[in-house]
């Protein structure tokens, strides 16, 4: 299964691949050059297909837990002051996505969207400390009756040039469902209340829609 945001790019790449293979076979008599060109085009198509894949995930709905919104490596777990919306201390959990990761964004918890805003910005590498506040990004706040409000931020990386965000202020959303897409390498920051227990460790690999990253301590 492939994400709808990739349909146009996949189609264009497929057409270019088929056209390139046909023209190479028709006009080039160099066997090794033909093989090299054809192999390059096929590898490019495979990479595009892999990037836009949208695997099904088994999300276990739980109002007490925050799940990873994306696939990737946990690169930050720290207490910070979230200055855009909360303007107080929160626990930040950041997940870095390489170009080979699934780039679908999923809602980390069910609830109501209280805030959704796009910010234009720079394209620093996604692991840069200032990327969270200076890069192109979207900020989304979801209110849940059990947890309260949590914030997640889609951040463009050095290669990313388009962030897709489906969250609209006032709508009710469901944990684990499709929340958007970030094209070509990026990062997502999640800000949770300090009283929540962190369930992941630095450098751990998270699976979007399934890995629990924080939960309420009872």
- Active site positions, annotated: 186
Report yes or no: 34 and 67 within 8 Å, Cβ to Cβ.
no
As a whole number of Å, the end-to-end CA separation of the chain is 38
Q: Residue 210 has what DSSP assignment? A: T
Query: Among 187, 213, 208, which residue's Cα sits nearest to residue 70?
Result: 208
Secondary structure E strands in 98-162: 104-106, 111-119, 137-144, 148-156
Report yes or no: 134 and 157 within 8 Å, Cβ to Cβ.
no
Task: Report the relative pairing of strands 205-206 and 72-82 from DSSP bridges.
Answer: antiparallel
Q: Is 168 exposed, middle or buried (0-12, 13-18, 19+ CB in 10 A)?
A: exposed
Q: Can you tell me whether residue 168 is helix, strand or coil? A: coil
Tokens 């979801």 found at: 142
């Amino acid at each position: 299964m492939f994400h709808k945001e990739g349909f146009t790019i996949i189609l264009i790449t497929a057409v270019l691949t088929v056209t390139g293979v046909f023209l190479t076979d028709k006009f080039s008599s160099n066997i090794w050059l033909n093989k090299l060109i054809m192999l390059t085009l096929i590898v490019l198509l495979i990479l595009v297909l892999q990037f836009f894949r949208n695997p099904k995930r088994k999300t276990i709905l739980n109002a007490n837990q925050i799940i990873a919104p994306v696939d990737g490596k946990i690169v930050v777990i720290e207490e910070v002051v979230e200055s855009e919306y909360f303007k107080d201390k929160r626990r930040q959990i950041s997940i870095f996505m390489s170009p080979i990761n699934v780039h679908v964004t999923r809602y980390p918890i069910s609830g109501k969207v209280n805030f959704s805003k796009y910010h234009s910005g720079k394209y620093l590498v996604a692991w840069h400390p200032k990327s969270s506040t200076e890069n192109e990004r979207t900020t989304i706040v979801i209110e849940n009756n059990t947890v309260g409000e949590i914030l997640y931020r889609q951040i463009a990386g050095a290669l990313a040039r388009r962030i897709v965000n489906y969250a609209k202020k006032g709508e009710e959303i469901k944990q684990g469902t499709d929340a958007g897409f970030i094209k070509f390498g990026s990062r997502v920051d999640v800000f949770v209340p300090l009283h929540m227990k962190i369930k992941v460790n630095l450098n751990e690999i998270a699976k979007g829609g399934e890995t629990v990253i924080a939960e309420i301590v009872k």
